[in-house]
Amino acid sequence: KQEVTQIPAALSVPEGENLVLNCSFTDSAIYNLQWFRQDPGKGLTSLLLIQSSQREQTSGRLNASLDKSSGRSTLYIAASQPGDSATYLCAPHFNKFYFGSGTKLNVKP
């Protein structure tokens, strides 16, 4: 079973800052990795899918990098906004999807 760790567990920043969210996983034999956001009491919204053969993937202000050999992925959020406040989850795909405990982000106006 994959062990997925996300650091930091919580983050509170003023609006406009660039952020780094970290994800590590124990088994590097993944097919891809997805980043999600979850708003309180809601389901998951897929943010980025990065294939195992890729090093990074970008969507708007979001950029995800993947170092499969070391079992790490990083989500960069540029110019953070209050609307980015949510819990961010990474899920490496090892035939199944296991989730980290998430990073709870609060962006203050």
Is 108 a binding residue for another protein by CB under 8 A? The answer is: no
| Cα radius of gyration rounded to whole Å, the chain | 13
**Nearer residue to another protein within complex by CB, 18 or 45:** 45
| Minimum distance from residue 67 beta carbon to another protein (Å) | 20
Is 26 a binding residue for another protein by CB under 8 A? The answer is: no
The answer to whether the beta carbons of residues 75 and 35 sit under 8 Å apart is: yes
13-21, 40-48, 55-63, 68-76 -> range binding another protein (CB under 8 A): 40-48
Is 62 a binding residue for another protein by CB under 8 A? The answer is: no
CA 41, 45, 61, 92 torsion-angle sign: positive
Distance CA 10, CA 91 (A): 18
